[in-house]
Amino acid sequence: MPLFINQGILRLLKLQSLSLRVKFITSFVAIIIVLSSVNLMTYYQMKTSMTKLDSMVQLSLTASLITENSDIIRETLRQYMIFQSPDEKKIVDASLISIKSSVEKLKQVVLDDKGSKALDAVAALSKSFEHKVTETIDLIDNGDLTGASATNVEAVKITGFLNTGVSEFLNDELNFQKTTKEQLNKQTERTKYLIFMTIGLVSIFSICGAVLFSTKIANTISLLVRHSENIANKNLKLDSVDVKTKDELAVLGTSINTLTENLRAFISETNKSSNEVTNTAETLKHNVELSSKAVEQISLVINEVSVGAKDQLGKSQQTREIVAKLYQSNKEVLQFARNVLQVSIDANQAAIVGNIKINSLIQQIEIIERKILETQVSSEKLQDKTSQIKKIVAAISEMAKQTNILGLNAGIEAARAKTEGKGFAVVAQEIKKLADSSSKSASKIAEILQEIQSESQYVALSMKIGVSEIKEGTQMAEASRQAFTDIVEKSSEVERQNRIVTTCIEDMVQDFNAVEETSKVITSIAEKASEGYREVAVSIDEQTAGLQEITASAYVLADMSDKLQKIIVQFRY
């Protein structure tokens, strides 16, 4: 391939890589350079022609000046022969100098060989003419008018020859300049046609280039406009815009392609995130419903336990009152027994009364034993309920952890969604807060239940001790009853039996005192348990309210996800 073709291809490739501004400037500069070149060429052509014409005019004027000066010298020399005036001599000298100067000028501007030869002849004649004129003036100055007249005649003849030589020189030069003028005219005509052709070609190329360039730009812009309209109409199923140039239109096409790809990827990711949020919302609603059911079940159990605790508190108070009464009764019995020792006369009646009181005491002890056994059974049930509550609280804690994890996942997905996920981020934060609150409440409930279980175990142990003591008291009461029977049957042993009864009653008083103290402890524990159950109930109510808020947030999240899905469906990608 020729070198100039390769260079042309390289220039086209470089031109395609230029920006639109540079292309426009380059085109205008190229047109200006071409037109300026044509104008400069025309200017230099005209300047050359004018220089040649000026030389022709100068040559004619200079040659005419030689003829005029020779005529002036001839006339002035005739006057000088007559008057011999210094001014006339000066005129002759000046004319000779002018002729000599004119010959030198003609030598500088002569153009052809023939003219040069004629000019050489004119120069020789001018020297001869100058010689004769000088000789004539010298003869006149010396007074030799005859010789001066003879030399003047020769000078006049030379003047004729000089004028003839100048005329021939002018004819030769004019003929040559005529040919030169004809060539200049032809060259001017060619230059005119060349200028017209150049301007025409530049105009044609400029118009064609402008049409092609504007058409290419218009087609590219039209393609970009259609692409943009499709994007505005939510249609992302588009082919990439192919702009083969490397100017601003190519950058715009690449930007639109990148925008389309980014929008397509964004819509796709948003769709995936919306589906995940929908699934998460459904899972969250399901878990919240399970948590609500579990909390309701816990609330029922706590209510039952609270009722049992209230009953336990009431029974503990009753037991305390009974024990107090028994303690007081035993103190009276003790006082009575002491009186029996002192009053032997009333021994039999006192024994009967003591027997009756012992029977009543045994009945009361049996009642106390039954109550304590019932309290022990309630305490065991309380421990079972407490264990069940602990299991439920553990399940709530696990659900709170899962809810927290779901909140974190929702926060991560909201962060990925950026601006569109701000609402999701708020919901996720609220879910996380509620999950933390549920976890803390469950931990608090577990601690309270642990305290209740510990106190219940202590109550159960105290109940067992009380039962053992009551059984011992029952046995002692049976012994006392037998003693009183023996007193009735054996009056002789009244004193000894009264001492035994007194001792036993004193022991019983101490035992009942211990039972009374234990009853106080049981009552205090029951009060604390009841208060703890109330706190648990309040915590469960707070947790229920929190779960309701989570449920509402889950429904709001699901509704937002549905709206987002409806928006995404409008796009084609």
Q: Which of 105, 228, 234 is nearest to 173 (CA)?
A: 105
Shared-domain flag, residues 320 and 185: no
- Residue identified by tokens 């943009």 is 228
Whether the predicted pLDDT of 67 surpasses 70 = yes
**Residue ending a domain, choose from 220, 243, 277:** 220
Shared-domain flag, residues 448 and 311: yes
What amino acid is encoded at 308 in this protein? G
How far apart CA 158 and CA 81 sit, in angstroms, is: 18
- Residues 287-341: tens digit of each pLDDT: 666 666 665 666 665 566 566 556 655 655 666 666 566 566 656 656 665 665 5
- Is 167 a domain residue? yes
Q: At what angle do helices 422-489 and 248-342 cross, to 10 degrees?
A: 10
Shared-domain flag, residues 202 and 322: no
- Is 283 a domain residue? no
CB contact at 8 A, 427 and 388: no
Q: How confident is the model at residue 398 (pLDDT cuts 50, 70, 90)?
A: confident
How far apart CA 244 and CA 261 sit, in angstroms, is: 20
Predicted confidence at residue 9, as pLDDT, reads 40
Query: Residue 18: CB partners within 8 Å, gap ≥ 6?
Result: 26, 246, 247
- Give the whole-number percent of the chain exceeding pLDDT 70: 49
- Is 133 a domain residue? yes
Q: What is the dihedral of CA 264, 270, 271, 277, to 10 degrees?
A: 170
How far apart CA 411 and CA 397 sit, in angstroms, is: 21
- Is 514 a domain residue? yes
Predicted confidence at residue 330, as pLDDT, reads 59
Higher pLDDT, 116 or 238: 116
Shared-domain flag, residues 549 and 418: yes
Q: Which of 130, 118, 195, 188 is nearest to 158 (CA)?
A: 130
How far apart CA 28 and CA 44 sit, in angstroms, is: 24
Whether the predicted pLDDT of 153 surpasses 80 = yes
Shared-domain flag, residues 413 and 540: yes
Predicted confidence at residue 300, as pLDDT, reads 65
CATH number, position 403: 1.10.287
Average pLDDT over residues 498-519: 66
CA atoms within a 13 Å half-sphere pointing along the CA-CB vector of 175: 9
Average pLDDT over residues 481-498: 63
Q: Which of 62-76, 100-114, 219-233 has the highest mean pLDDT?
A: 62-76
Average pLDDT over residues 148-175: 84
Q: How confident is the model at residue 39 (pLDDT cuts 50, 70, 90)?
A: low
What is the phi/psi pair of residue 224, to 5°? -65, -35
- Give the whole-number percent of the chain exceeding pLDDT 90: 1
**Residue ending a domain, choose from 162, 189, 220:** 220
Whether the predicted pLDDT of 180 surpasses 80 = no
Higher pLDDT, 155 or 464: 155
Shared-domain flag, residues 213 and 324: no
Evaluated on CA atoms 159, 165, 171, 176, the torsion sign reads: negative
Q: Which of 45, 54, 43 is nearest to 190 (CA)?
A: 45
**Distance linking the first and last C-alpha atoms of the chain:** 48
Whether the predicted pLDDT of 85 surpasses 60 = yes
Whether the predicted pLDDT of 71 surpasses 70 = yes
- Is 241 a domain residue? no
Buried b (16+ CB within 10 A) or exposed e, 477-494: beebbebbebbbeeeeeb
Predicted confidence at residue 302, as pLDDT, reads 59
- Is 226 a domain residue? no
Average pLDDT over residues 79-85: 85
CATH number, position 42: 1.20.120.1730
How far apart CA 225 and CA 393 sit, in angstroms, is: 64
CA atoms within a 13 Å half-sphere pointing along the CA-CB vector of 133: 31
Q: Where are the beta strands (DSSP E) in 339-412?
A: none
Predicted confidence at residue 543, as pLDDT, reads 65
Average pLDDT over residues 443-469: 71
Q: Which of 167, 417, 163, 172 is nearest to 276 (CA)?
A: 417
- Is 192 a domain residue? yes
Predicted confidence at residue 4, as pLDDT, reads 38
Predicted confidence at residue 140, as pLDDT, reads 86
Predicted confidence at residue 131, as pLDDT, reads 92
Shared-domain flag, residues 67 and 195: yes
Predicted confidence at residue 146, as pLDDT, reads 86
Predicted confidence at residue 7, as pLDDT, reads 46
Can you say whether residue 234 is alpha, beta or left, with left for phi > 0 and alpha for psi between -120 and 50 degrees?
left
- Residues 525-545: tens digit of each pLDDT: 767 766 765 666 666 666 677
How far apart CA 132 and CA 101 sit, in angstroms, is: 18
Predicted confidence at residue 5, as pLDDT, reads 36
Q: What would the two tokens of residue 322 be?
A: 């009974």
Higher pLDDT, 15 or 523: 523
What amino acid is encoded at 488 in this protein? V
How far is residue 34 CA from its own chain's centroid? Answer: 51
Shared-domain flag, residues 429 and 531: yes
Shared-domain flag, residues 212 and 335: no
Q: Which of 97-101, 145-149, 389-393 has the highest mean pLDDT?
A: 97-101
Average pLDDT over residues 226-246: 69
Shared-domain flag, residues 210 and 316: no
Whether the predicted pLDDT of 430 surpasses 80 = no
Predicted confidence at residue 260, as pLDDT, reads 73
Q: What is the DSSP secondary-structure string of 392-411?
A: HHHHHHHHHHHHHHHHHHHH
Shared-domain flag, residues 350 and 456: yes
Whether the predicted pLDDT of 95 surpasses 70 = yes
Q: Which of 130-134, 428-432, 438-442 has the highest mean pLDDT?
A: 130-134
Predicted confidence at residue 55, as pLDDT, reads 67
How far is residue 306 CA from its own chain's centroid? Answer: 58
**Residue ending a domain, choose from 191, 220, 249:** 220
Contacts within 8 Å (CB) and 24+ apart, 132-139: 132/158, 133/73, 133/77, 133/92, 133/96, 134/96, 136/77, 136/81, 137/77, 137/80, 137/89, 137/92
- Is 284 a domain residue? no
Structural domain of 479 = 307-564
CA atoms within a 13 Å half-sphere pointing along the CA-CB vector of 446: 14
How far apart CA 324 and CA 517 sit, in angstroms, is: 10
Q: Which of 111-115, 272-276, 478-482, 513-517 has the highest mean pLDDT?
A: 111-115
Shared-domain flag, residues 204 and 319: no
How far apart CA 420 and CA 158 sit, in angstroms, is: 117
Predicted confidence at residue 267, as pLDDT, reads 72
Average pLDDT over residues 244-253: 66
The number of distinct structural domains making up the chain is 2
Whether the predicted pLDDT of 285 surpasses 70 = no
- Residues 358-380: tens digit of each pLDDT: 677 777 777 876 777 777 677 67
Q: What would the two tokens of residue 418 be?
A: 């950026």
How far apart CA 225 and CA 222 sit, in angstroms, is: 5
Q: Where are the beta strands (DSSP E) in 202-296?
A: none
Let me know the angle formed at the C-alpha of 172 by 171 and 174, rounded to the nearest 5 degrees.
Answer: 60
CA-to-CA dists, residue 327 to 92, 340, 515, 560, angstroms: 184, 19, 9, 72
Q: Which of 56-65, 455-464, 476-485, 515-524 has the highest mean pLDDT?
A: 56-65
Evaluated on CA atoms 12, 17, 20, 23, the torsion sign reads: negative
